[in-house]
Amino acid sequence: MCGIAGFLAPGGSGDASALEQAALRMADALVTRGPDDRGAWVDPSVGIALGHRRLSIVDLSPQGAQPMPSSCGRYVIAYNGEVYNAGELRDELRSLGHGFRGHSDTEVLIEAISEFGVDNAVRRCNGMFAFGVWDRQQRSLTLGRDRLGKKPLYYGRNAGRFVFGSELKALCAAPDFEAVVDRDALALFVRFSYVPSTFCIYRGIHKLPPGTLLTIRADGTPDEAGPRTFWSARELAESAARQPLESSDKEATDTLEKLLCDAVERRMVADVAVGATLSGGIDSSIVVALMARVTRGSVRTFSIGYDDPQINEAEHAKAIADHLGTEHNELIVTARDALDVIPRIPELYDEPFADTSQIPTALVCQMARRDVTVALSGDGGDELFAGYNRYFAVLERWPGIERKPAIVRSIASRVGLAGSRLLWQMAGGAQSPGAGPGRSSSGGSSVGRSSVGRSSVLALGGRLERNAERIGATSLADYYMRRASRCMNPDLFVVNGRAPSTPLTDPLAWPSISDPLQRMMAMDLGCNLPDQFLVKLDRASMGVSLEVRSPLLDHRLVEFSLQLPRQFKVRDGERKWLLRQVLDRYVPRALTDRPKQGFSAPVDEWMRGPLRDWAEHLLDERRLREEGYLQADAVRRVWQQHLAGWRNHRFLLWNFLMFQSWLEHSRQGAAAAKR
């Protein structure tokens, strides 16, 4: 895996050395993505500069160095990723007269581009990738991103240049980069815990959507209205819904097993040590089971657990590892271990990101990197085979809400919110975190003198508020969005910010699929998966120079899963039905048959305990007012409600804290750059 960066300065530059140094500075900001080598390629006549940091995985020799020109000399590429069918493509290209200096997949990709063109080449690739390729003949730069969005790519115009890179830190290192926070994007972050594509926390910068290409002319203008699509999860899901696969249970199970075996085997090809993360759940267990089947040696597995038995899953992972005979490594995490990761989060995720499972994800990647350079994971199983609890909560509760007239739902929502505010006031809700339970900070009396009575009122008010927010939904899509959101009114928390519409918030943008379960899964595949879960994994792994590969996100397997009728995903109340049928062939059901448990951290309790001083520092009222991004009164109210036990605001508060931490880190970085 690697880090890529570059820019195009229209009009050209006569100073090749200056261009090269600028490209290397951008690339060096991505050193953890590529600690093994660095390189740059420039053409001062047009002002193009490509930078690269290399993590050597396949072909460790200098023959795999980048940026890499094609043998014909027309194209030059800076590439991040892995092409898993590189062997077949190499054979095809050899038959067409192409020669190869080494055996890297980078060389295969650039030769495929020279033979077939960029668009047709990426359609032939099975892999994860992000790249920038310069066409010296057409004098154009094309950016590309893989089908599922495994690898990130930012781009935009800034300070008169077109800039791009794997992460924002590379763009920030570009000459004269102007880092201006986009307050509308901040409002989206408050809503979702991440900034969704194509938005970015910095004004004028965008994320290239998964499965798209974007071509920029030498004058810095796009060759078309916007990114062009070469693969669309939505279109495939809609097409599959119209013509679902007809198959027997055995045929479907055999096909899935065959696809999984091939996907796993392809992702084990490397010239470095390979292992796997193992949580003990269905997805990671099936990946490890098939690794054990296709490899000759012992599989190295890595798991973490907590010293709190209520959230510890390590024993389940160990039982499966023992059954499969893996070389298992386990780390039991204390609160102190997890808390030590938090200061590193702004550096790892250089755009605000607030999924609380980022903490254990960072820890397991850190542990795995001590022994391997590549790790396989089970990501994608929930989106493809209906694993998330929220799907079934929506399916269970929405019909009852839908039966009520829209005007009744709207009135009930408004009344419920008003009632919750009244209860908060009755319970002394205006009091500061340090005030006693019977008196507000302004001296007003609260309901009752009993802490038990106050707790009851608080609990009732919190439930009333949560239910009122959801009952006002106008459709199943709207109800799902409300459950998936951390905040229904993000504009209330951002100064001069207004959350734009996104595919997830606009019911008209949802796929045209009649089955509500399949619709929700398709939305997650196109939205939450690339923007939240794959970002979490990419930054945590790349922060320690670990390449993570996800067999379940092989596009052939994804396309197969989209064709499967609902009964292959949920049957008789059992989720991930078809995946379980394959796993049952390798692991006894007794080792995997248990309720789904999230891979998260107990930040709600930490914020009331060991993280409280840190949170108070970041959410200080005076500080919020001086910075001018978050509404101080609204944020402090949420903080007080959480401390009082009114409602578990862990996700929303984590959004605020991660933004504040990111803002502090970015300002420190900017100050250091000026010194």
**255-294 per-position pLDDT tens digit:** 999 999 999 999 999 989 999 999 989 999 999 999 999 9
On whether residue 341 sits in a domain, the answer given is: no
Which residues are CB-neighbours of 428 under 8 A, at least 6 positions away? 435, 437, 438, 439, 440, 444, 445, 446, 447, 454
| pLDDT of 455 | 63
Helix, strand, coil distribution of the chain in percent, nearest 5: 50, 15, 35
Percentage of residues of the chain with pLDDT beyond 90: 71
pLDDT tier, 507 (very low <50, low <70, confident <90, very high otherwise)? confident
Q: Which residues pair with 4 in a beta bridge?
A: 52
Residues 534 and 635 placed together within one structural domain of the fold: no
Read off the pLDDT of residues 657-673 as tens digits, 9 standing for 90 and up.
999 999 999 988 766 66
What's the total number of domains in the chain?
4
| pLDDT of 28 | 97
Q: Is residue 442 within 8 Å of 473, Cβ to Cβ?
A: no
Whichever domain contains 584, its CATH number is 3.40.50.620
Q: Is residue 84 within 8 Å of 126, Cβ to Cβ?
A: yes
Average of per-residue pLDDT across 561-582: 96
Q: Is residue 557 within 8 Å of 546, Cβ to Cβ?
A: no
Q: Which residues pair with 306 in a beta bridge?
A: 333
| pLDDT of 429 | 60
Distance of alpha carbon 351 from alpha carbon 336, whole angstroms: 25
Residues 100 and 223 placed together within one structural domain of the fold: yes
- Enumerate the H helices of 485-609 as residue ranges: 516-526, 528, 534-542, 555-563, 577-583, 589-592, 603-608
pLDDT tier, 675 (very low <50, low <70, confident <90, very high otherwise)? low
Residues 453 and 583 placed together within one structural domain of the fold: no
In Å, how far from its chain's centre is CA 585? 31
Q: Which residues pair with 163 in a beta bridge?
A: 7, 156
Distance of alpha carbon 514 from alpha carbon 527, whole angstroms: 19
| pLDDT of 416 | 81
Average of per-residue pLDDT across 26-52: 95
pLDDT at 206 over 50: yes
Residues 198 and 325 placed together within one structural domain of the fold: no
Distance of alpha carbon 34 from alpha carbon 37, whole angstroms: 7
On whether residue 597 sits in a domain, the answer given is: no
pLDDT at 569 over 50: yes
Which among 17, 71, 24 has a CA at the least distance from the CA of 44?
Answer: 17
Which among 492, 661, 665, 553 has a CA at the least distance from the CA of 231?
Answer: 553
Read off the pLDDT of residues 288-330 as tens digits, 9 standing for 90 and up.
999 999 988 889 999 988 776 666 678 889 999 999 999 999 9
Q: Which amino acid is at 567?
A: Q
On whether residue 345 sits in a domain, the answer given is: no
Instruction: Residue 572: count other Cβ atoms within 10 Å of its Cβ.
Output: 6
pLDDT at 5 over 90: yes
- Preceding omega of 198 cis (within 30 degrees of 0): yes
What is each CA distance from 349 to 102, 274, 339, 354, 566, in whole angstroms? 34, 25, 16, 9, 36
Q: Is residue 274 within 8 Å of 298, Cβ to Cβ?
A: no
pLDDT at 533 over 90: yes
| pLDDT of 217 | 94
Average of per-residue pLDDT across 530-544: 96
Structural domain including 431 reads 390-510
pLDDT at 600 over 60: yes
pLDDT tier, 442 (very low <50, low <70, confident <90, very high otherwise)? very low
pLDDT at 441 over 50: no
Instruction: Residue 313: count other Cβ atoms within 10 Å of its Cβ.
Output: 19
Residues 133 and 193 placed together within one structural domain of the fold: yes
On whether residue 27 sits in a domain, the answer given is: yes
- Enumerate the H helices of 243-324 as residue ranges: 249-266, 282-294, 314-324
Which among 430, 421, 387, 653 has a CA at the least distance from the CA of 520?
Answer: 387
Stronger pLDDT, 55 or 130, i.e. the higher one: 130
| pLDDT of 446 | 39
Q: Which amino acid is at 71?
A: S
Distance of alpha carbon 660 from alpha carbon 342, whole angstroms: 12
Q: Is residue 652 within 8 Å of 487, Cβ to Cβ?
A: yes
Average of per-residue pLDDT across 196-216: 97
Residues 197 and 258 placed together within one structural domain of the fold: no
Average of per-residue pLDDT across 125-137: 97
Residues 68 and 155 placed together within one structural domain of the fold: yes
What mean pLDDT is reported for the chain? 90
| pLDDT of 523 | 94
Residue given tokens 């995997």 in the structure block? 592
HSE-CB for 232 with a 13 A CA cutoff: 11
Distance of alpha carbon 616 from alpha carbon 608, whole angstroms: 10
Q: Is residue 640 within 8 Å of 437, Cβ to Cβ?
A: no
Average of per-residue pLDDT across 600-619: 89
Token digits of residue 415: 């009344």
Q: Is residue 130 within 8 Å of 213, Cβ to Cβ?
A: no
Distance of alpha carbon 144 from alpha carbon 110, whole angstroms: 13
On whether residue 163 sits in a domain, the answer given is: yes
Residues 21 and 49 placed together within one structural domain of the fold: yes
Counting every residue written for the chain, the total comes to 675
Crossing angle of helices 105-116 and 86-95, in 10° steps, is 50
Residues 239 and 227 placed together within one structural domain of the fold: no
Residues 587 and 623 placed together within one structural domain of the fold: no
Of 540, 560, 592, at which residue does a domain stop?
A: 592
> For the chain, how big is the Rg over CA atoms in Å?
26
Q: Is residue 462 within 8 Å of 647, Cβ to Cβ?
A: yes
Instruction: Residue 382: count other Cβ atoms within 10 Å of its Cβ.
Output: 25
Whichever domain contains 94, its CATH number is 3.60.20.10
Read off the pLDDT of residues 360-405 as tens digits, 9 standing for 90 and up.
999 999 999 999 999 999 999 999 999 999 999 999 999 999 999 8
Q: How would DSSP label each residue in 178-200? A: ---B-HHHHHHHHHHSS--TT--
Which among 53, 154, 82 has a CA at the least distance from the CA of 375?
Answer: 82
Range in 21-25, 304-308, 531-535, 592-596 with the lowest mean pLDDT: 592-596
pLDDT at 462 over 90: no
- Enumerate the H helices of 495-552 as residue ranges: 516-526, 528, 534-542
Of 202, 231, 260, at which residue does a domain stop?
A: 231
Residues 307 and 370 placed together within one structural domain of the fold: yes
Distance of alpha carbon 3 from alpha carbon 539, whole angstroms: 11
Q: Is residue 196 within 8 Å of 188, Cβ to Cβ?
A: yes
On whether residue 366 sits in a domain, the answer given is: yes
Edge-to-edge, what's the strand order for the sheet holding 547-549?
327-333, 300-306, 274-277, 374-376, 547-549
Residues 34 and 183 placed together within one structural domain of the fold: yes
On whether residue 314 sits in a domain, the answer given is: yes
Token digits of residue 366: 């850190």
Which residues are CB-neighbours of 212 under 8 A, at least 6 positions away? 144, 145, 227, 228, 229, 230
The SS3 call for residue 596 is coil
Residue given tokens 């890529």 in the structure block? 4
pLDDT tier, 421 (very low <50, low <70, confident <90, very high otherwise)? confident
Distance of alpha carbon 487 from alpha carbon 412, whole angstroms: 19
On whether residue 58 sits in a domain, the answer given is: yes
Q: What angle do CA 543, 546, 547 make, to 5 degrees?
A: 120
Q: Is 571 exposed, middle or buried (0-12, 13-18, 19+ CB in 10 A)?
A: middle
Of 443, 478, 510, at which residue does a domain stop?
A: 510
